Structure 1
Amino acid sequence: MRDEAAAPRTQAQRTAATRAKVLDATITSLVELGYAKTTTQEVNRRAEVSRGALLHHFPTRESLVVAAVGHLVDRRMSEILGRPRTGDEDISVIFEVFDGPLFDAALELWVAARTDEHLRQAMVPLEQKVSDALITGSAELFGPRYSPAQIALSIELARGLAVSRILRSPDDDRALVDELLTVWKAMVADA
Structure 2
Amino acid sequence: MTDDTAAPAPRTQAQRTAATQAKVLDATVDALVELGYSGTTTQEVNRRAGVSRGALLHHFPTRESLVVAAVSHLVDRRLAELLSRPRTGDEDLDILVEAFSGPLFDAALELWVAARTDRGLREAMIPLEQKVSDALAAGSAELFGARYNAAQIELTVELARGLAVSRILRTPESDRAFVGRLLPVWKEILQSHV
Give your verdict on TM over 0.5: yes
For 2:99 and 2:93, locate their aligned partners in 1 and report how far apart those are by CA, in whole Å: 11
Compute the displacement of 1:84 (Å).
Answer: 1.2
Match of 1:129 in 2: 131
Compute the displacement of 1:4 (Å).
Answer: 7.8
For 1:166 and 1:141, locate their aligned partners in 2 and report how far apart those are by CA, in whole Å: 27
Structure 1: unaligned runs, 5 residues or longer: none
For 1:178 and 1:13, locate their aligned partners in 2 and report how far apart those are by CA, in whole Å: 44
Deviations 1:12-39 (Å, cap 9, x if unpaired)? 1110000000000000000000000100
Match of 1:10 in 2: 12
Compute the displacement of 1:7 (Å).
Answer: 1.4
Residue of structure 2 aligned with 1:166, choices 162, 165, 168: 168
The residue type equivalent to 2:169 in the other structure is L
Structure 2: unaligned runs, 5 residues or longer: none
For 2:158 and 2:94, locate their aligned partners in 1 and report how far apart those are by CA, in whole Å: 13
Deviations 1:90-116 (Å, cap 9, x if unpaired)? 111111110100000000000000000
Once the two structures are superposed, the pairs formed by residues 99-138 of structure 1 within 5 Å of their partners are: 99-138=101-140
The residue type equivalent to 1:24 in the other structure is D
Instruction: Specify whether residues 41 and 128 from structure 1 end up closer, same or farther in structure 2 by C-alpha distance, changes over 3 A only.
Output: same
Larger Rg: 2
Identity %: 74
Match of 1:141 in 2: 143
Match of 2:184 in 1: 182
Aligned-residue RMSD, C-alpha: 1.3
SS at match of 2:46: helix
Instruction: Specify whether residues 155 and 4 from structure 1 end up closer, same or farther in structure 2 by C-alpha distance, changes over 3 A only.
Output: farther
Deviations 1:45-97 (Å, cap 9, x if unpaired)? 00001111111000100000000000000000000111111111011111111
SS at match of 2:190: helix
Match of 1:24 in 2: 26
Q: What TM-score results when the alignment is normalised by the length of structure 2?
A: 0.95
Compute the displacement of 1:165 (Å).
Answer: 0.9
Match of 1:86 in 2: 88
Q: What TM-score results when the alignment is normalised by the length of structure 1?
A: 0.97
